[in-house]
Amino acid sequence: MVVKIDKQPIPITEIEQSAFCQTDEELASKTLEQEFDSGVRWQKLPVSYMRTSPEELEQKISDAKEKLGNKIMILGHHYQRDEVIQFADIRGDSFKLSQHAADSPDAEFIIFCGVHFMAETADILSDIEQKVILPNLTAGCSMADMAHIDDVLDCWDDLTEILGENSVIPMTYMNSTAAIKSLCGENGGIVCTSSNASAAFDWAFERGDKILFLPDQHLGRNTAVTKGVQLDEMIVWNPFKPQGGNTIEEIKNAKLILWQGHCSVHTRFTTAQIDSARETNSEVSIVVHPECTLDVVESADYVGSTEYIKQIINEAEPGTSWGVGTEISLVNRIASENPDKNVFCLDSVVCPCSTMYRIHPAYVAWVLDGLLEGVVVNQIEVDEETRKFSRIALDRMLSIK
């Protein structure tokens, strides 16, 4: 039996944004009921799950996972809290996990411990018979939610009217809804990840003179700069202003049209934090995610995806120091896996990704208990047409080196 629940995006409030920020590294889970006391508006569960202790939940999940065996595959994004990531069969960034979903046809149920757009992508790439489950339906992505499909369609209509048909190549970051990926697929565009954005830009510029980049302006700007695009050849599209807040001349002269979106985690990092780290230790190496602002990226020693950040630190010489500009759960995990190095987060105020943090162990236990009883909850399904064109855009990305 499948229980379907309408997914309504729930915005990140300022309360939630700061509720789990601390000035130390203690981010251990509490009961779900206690976390709700912070004022969050997550998906509600039966009281028994709300009040179960993290220790009891750990045992419940372990038992259920053993009983379900190969019927399930649990995917865990790097930004998940430790209490959840410990149960992941595969860990990785959003695209790596979706690839595993596509390459694992034997798993009847794919439980994606991440956010909504990731589960959508897994559903698009996996077999039609497989069921993708998101433990907490309110686990969205603030960046993805900054590009609503209706606003993007308005933008696309404006650009087509001003520039003509087939004049702009739409490109979307993986961190976007299936509807946005579908628009790109239907209009000659492509999807990219933080690790292959450069190659995707090459692909797009081989097919057109202009790119509409969605939804993260910083990844788009940072990548374009490395391709030789000048800052005065870029404009930002504000969906709440006519023509995105730009003149017709500015639109016609632009090589890159950046959607006004960003990552609330990565825009916390500043050049002042980098300067402070270097003042403390002149030998420190700075590595940041390309979702950071341009000044931070240009100040860093290394820039790359979560997989890249993990790899470069794992392969570094013992005794080296690393200031890292990415989500704290991943930074802490890298630090614990590299005790022979000094690994720390550049931001002294420890803030996990608010939406990733919505996957509490109670949700995982609830999902698994449902499967044991033959009940599928929180299934993520992409409609046939959206799936078709999204797959085209994703396949184009897979085709590039």
* Contact (Cβ atoms closer than 8 angstroms) between residue 135 and residue 369: no
* Cβ atoms < 10 Å from Cβ of 334: 22
Question: Are residues 15 and 130 located together in one domain of the fold?
Answer: yes
Residue 182 belongs to a domain = yes
Residue 220 belongs to a domain = yes
* Contact (Cβ atoms closer than 8 angstroms) between residue 277 and residue 346: yes
What mean pLDDT is reported for the chain? 90
Question: Are residues 276 and 330 located together in one domain of the fold?
Answer: yes
For the record, the structure tokens of 6 come out as 């309408």
Range of the domain at 367: 2-140+354-383
Does 14 have pLDDT greater than 70? no
Q: Which of 202, 231, 261 is the last residue of a domain?
A: 261
Question: Are residues 121 and 35 located together in one domain of the fold?
Answer: yes
For 168-205, the pLDDT digits (tens) are 999 999 999 999 999 999 999 999 999 899 999 999 99
Q: What is the CATH number of the domain that holds 62?
A: 3.40.50.10800
* Cβ atoms < 10 Å from Cβ of 353: 27
Residue 389 belongs to a domain = no
Residue 2 has a pLDDT of 54
Question: What average pLDDT does this structure show over 76-82?
Answer: 87
Q: How far apart are the first and last CA of the chain?
A: 42
Residue 401 belongs to a domain = no
Residue 322 has a pLDDT of 98
In this prediction, residue 27 has a pLDDT band, given cuts at 50, 70 and 90, of low
Of 355 and 76, the structure prediction assigns the larger pLDDT to: 76
Does 10 have pLDDT greater than 80? no
* Contact (Cβ atoms closer than 8 angstroms) between residue 341 and residue 313: yes
Radius of gyration, CA atoms only, the chain: 21
For the record, the structure tokens of 180 come out as 């946005």
For 150-178, the pLDDT digits (tens) are 999 999 999 999 999 889 999 999 999 99
Question: Are residues 36 and 153 located together in one domain of the fold?
Answer: no
Question: Distance between CA atoms of 71 and 109, rounded to whole angstroms?
Answer: 6
Residue 372 has a pLDDT of 97
Q: Report the predicted TM-score, pTM, of the whole model to 2 decimal places.
A: 0.87
Residue 227 belongs to a domain = yes
Domain count, the chain: 3
Question: Are residues 74 and 184 located together in one domain of the fold?
Answer: no
Question: What average pLDDT does this structure show over 225-245?
Answer: 97
Residue 218 belongs to a domain = yes
Question: Are residues 73 and 7 located together in one domain of the fold?
Answer: yes
